[in-house]
Structure 1
Amino acid sequence: MPRPTLASATTWITAAATHHPDDLIDHLMLCLGISRRRTRRLLGQLVDAHWLVEEGSKRRPHYRPGPMRQVVRRYALAGLAEDCPWAQDFAPFFDLRPNVARLAQHAFTELLNNAIDHSGGSGVTVSMRQTGLHLQMLVSDDGCGLFQRIEQAWQIDDPRLAMLELGKGKLTTQPARHLGQGLFYVARAADVFDLHANRHGFQRRPGHSGWADVRPIERQGTSIYLAIALDTPRTLDQVLRSHADDGYGFDHTEVSLRLLTGPSTWLESRAQARRVTARLSAFRRAHLDFSGIDEIGPAFADELFRVYASAHPQVQLVPEAAAPRVAAMIASVQ
């Protein structure tokens, strides 16, 4: 067996210390096939790095998980039920406030269910880590990739346009079984949310401007990373009510317009405006995020704020973070 390292030990020491608080040294000697001296040295490193807390005496040490905690598990997707891994393999080993634990369970089960139902892969790896400030989660499947799946179902072959639609919510490749709002609310339950698939990466952070490009993870399938602040006052109930006019209805959405822009691409055409308004009739209100956009063309503004607005009076279009020239162009066509 390879010599255990501090990095490799962090993936399993939390569970080991929980299950073997009084005989952890003997347990690791047996499992790792290493001497007592090497085992004590490894445990000392884990204590120094805050992965373990050592109590008791030198002769009879007692170990418990420290403020740094982590569990990493891989599952076959066939026959997997997403609630069991959370309840059995993850929840017992973390020390979380009730509102954070509820947010984490919601995110965990939604992301794992997406891998089961949508990825078309054979396996999924789940990693959850607790640091001094955040709970971090990474769910990676080995399927075809989210943007390829959207292309197959919706004929959208540009990942940025796919992200535009996915970011609106109510987009699903299995409408008979899903509402298409899982990722929408999981992204809003987190303080950082990264989505990686098919050599593209996008990130959403509260207080920042919509969805932004990030360097993608180069691997097969879909990988989703999120982080939740351990001291967040946010509750799952608040998240689920955040886009409802009343109760839990999904009544209003957000559209990150800079997904339609690029180094040499501005918001100029009516075709771009029609991409913005696609499927907006499913909502009562759409918040249009103009963050990072200094100006727009008259055709884009006219198609969006006069033509579409006149044809769909039941949908309220709310421009947000509009720069002065953007606001002036919108006003000129209304």
Structure 2
Amino acid sequence: MRFDQNKKQTIRRYILEKIDQGDPTLSKTVSETFGINQATVHGYIKELIDENIIQRVRRGVYELITQEYRYSLKRSEGHLDSDTYAYDTYFKQHIADFASNVREIWAYTFSEMINNVMDHSNAENLHLLVTQSYLSTSVLITDDGVGIFKKIKDHFDFDTLDDAIGELFKGKLTTDSENHSGEGIFFSSKLMDSFMILSDQKIFLGNKYESNSIISIPQHQQCGTSVFMELSNFTQKRTQEVFDLYANVDGGFTKTRVPLKNMFDTSPVSRSQAKRVCNRLDNFEEVILDFEGLEWMGQGFAHQIFVVFQNAHPQILLTPVNMNEAVTKMYQHVTS
């Protein structure tokens, strides 16, 4: 059976995705999905091996070939004087052949994270690790400066590091409001497929709550901050489309989404917890409160947000989403 080039590329990409996912019955899965025999599947696999895209681990098991590139920058040598130096000198070459929307996302997120190191960390050294496979590209940016969560906590006088991390979920948070908008981490976490910040023995992870929790790291961690970002080389995301999700008709950053599961280890019950959620929400016109993963909420928590805060800020649209039956009942109880 002969396929046109687009169909062949679709099959090859599917094979690579299944390899990346560790599918134990690769040939059978591909064969059944596309209605082709397993001999044809093996032909595609051989092509991918010959092109150094994958390698055989053992019979029937393959893995994507990855390449790693390491770079070091020093503030004392002027490497951190511009947020474009690291991008133009070291990173741009690795994404030069990608589609324009992919390059645009990387240009924004990479520069934003480098800028954070330049302006906020007081770091002398910055290390880059770029890892690429046929399917994706990841970047690990590590510095030896002031930990980002501690800096936020101290600047805003928050009680705990968890409070500081919780504010990052909302956006519009900066320790230098004269020179920064506080949007970089928020939008970078939305644009990337995977986004993680490790600092001060804590981890902030972007996207869904299963991997987007505030996790304590028990082992010793050196000073500084590490940022990990990963994006599909074939993503269909577009920077402007993601920005528009959180903007009003004039293009302002007026909307935010708060994943409540990320902020609390257990179902929230108290007014003090609600006040943590409501902190700085008056900076937005619309707030989506995402209850996914929460089994229940206390009456005090619900009343503080949906009655006390809402009555004090009637101009703000509060929209609860992903509520189960128990959470919905409590919401209706306090608002009726």
TM-score (norm 2): 0.75
% identity of equivalent residues? 29
The structural deviation recorded for 1:67 is 7.5
Where does residue 114 of structure 2 map in the other structure?
A: 112
The structural deviation recorded for 1:130 is 1.8
Where does residue 104 of structure 2 map in the other structure?
A: 102
* Residue of 68, 71, 74 corresponding to 2:72: 74
Q: Secondary structure of 2:269's match?
A: coil
CA distance in 1, matches of 2:52, 2:86: 25
The structural deviation recorded for 1:115 is 0.4
Whether the 8 Å contact between 1:209 and 1:289 is mirrored in structure 2 is: no
Where does residue 324 of structure 2 map in the other structure?
A: 323
CA distance in 2, matches of 1:51, 1:88: 26
Whether the 8 Å contact between 1:160 and 1:259 is mirrored in structure 2 is: no
Q: How many residue pairs align between the two structures? A: 272
1:333 equivalent in alignment to 2:334:
yes
* Deviation sequence 1:147-169 (CA, Å, 0-9, x none): 11012201114222111111111
The structural deviation recorded for 1:261 is 2.2
Partner amino acid for 2:255?
A: H
1:245 equivalent in alignment to 2:248:
yes
The structural deviation recorded for 1:289 is 1.3
Partner amino acid for 2:228?
A: Y
Q: Which runs of 5+ in 2 are unaligned?
A: 1-48, 55-63
Where does residue 298 of structure 1 map in the other structure?
A: 299
Partner amino acid for 2:205?
A: Q
Where does residue 176 of structure 1 map in the other structure?
A: 178
The structural deviation recorded for 1:88 is 2.1
Where does residue 193 of structure 2 map in the other structure?
A: 191
* Deviation sequence 1:206-248 (CA, Å, 0-9, x none): x556831457593321111011111211011112222012243
Where does residue 88 of structure 1 map in the other structure?
A: 89
CA distance in 2, matches of 1:255, 1:98: 30
Q: Secondary structure of 2:229's match?
A: strand
Whether the 8 Å contact between 2:209 and 2:261 is mirrored in structure 1 is: no
Whether the 8 Å contact between 2:171 and 2:182 is mirrored in structure 1 is: yes
CA distance in 2, matches of 1:215, 1:70: 28
Measured at CA, do residues 132 and 247 of structure 1 come closer, stay the same or move farther in structure 2, by a change above 3 Å? farther
Partner amino acid for 2:190?
A: R
Where does residue 141 of structure 1 map in the other structure?
A: 143
Q: Secondary structure of 1:194's match?
A: strand
Q: Secondary structure of 1:128's match?
A: strand
Q: Secondary structure of 2:213's match?
A: strand
Partner amino acid for 1:315?
A: I
CA distance in 1, matches of 2:263, 2:119: 29
Whether the 8 Å contact between 2:209 and 2:262 is mirrored in structure 1 is: no
Partner amino acid for 1:163?
A: I
CA distance in 2, matches of 1:236, 1:185: 9
Measured at CA, do residues 121 and 49 of structure 1 come closer, stay the same or move farther in structure 2, by a change above 3 Å? farther
1:254 equivalent in alignment to 2:253:
no
* Residue of 211, 216, 233 corresponding to 1:230: 233
Partner amino acid for 1:301?
A: A
Q: Secondary structure of 1:261's match?
A: coil
Measured at CA, do residues 311 and 157 of structure 1 come closer, stay the same or move farther in structure 2, by a change above 3 Å? closer
Partner amino acid for 2:324?
A: A
Partner amino acid for 2:285?
A: R
Q: Secondary structure of 1:82's match?
A: coil
The structural deviation recorded for 1:105 is 1.2
CA distance in 1, matches of 2:153, 2:209: 28
* Deviation sequence 1:60-117 (CA, Å, 0-9, x none): xxxxxx9844432111134421102211222123332211111111111100010010
Where does residue 161 of structure 1 map in the other structure?
A: 163
CA distance in 1, matches of 2:66, 2:151: 36
The structural deviation recorded for 1:282 is 0.6
CA distance in 2, matches of 1:278, 1:90: 37
CA RMSD of aligned residues (A): 2.4
Q: Secondary structure of 2:169's match?
A: helix
TM-score (norm 1): 0.76
Q: Secondary structure of 1:243's match?
A: coil
Q: Which runs of 5+ in 1 are unaligned?
A: 1-46, 53-65
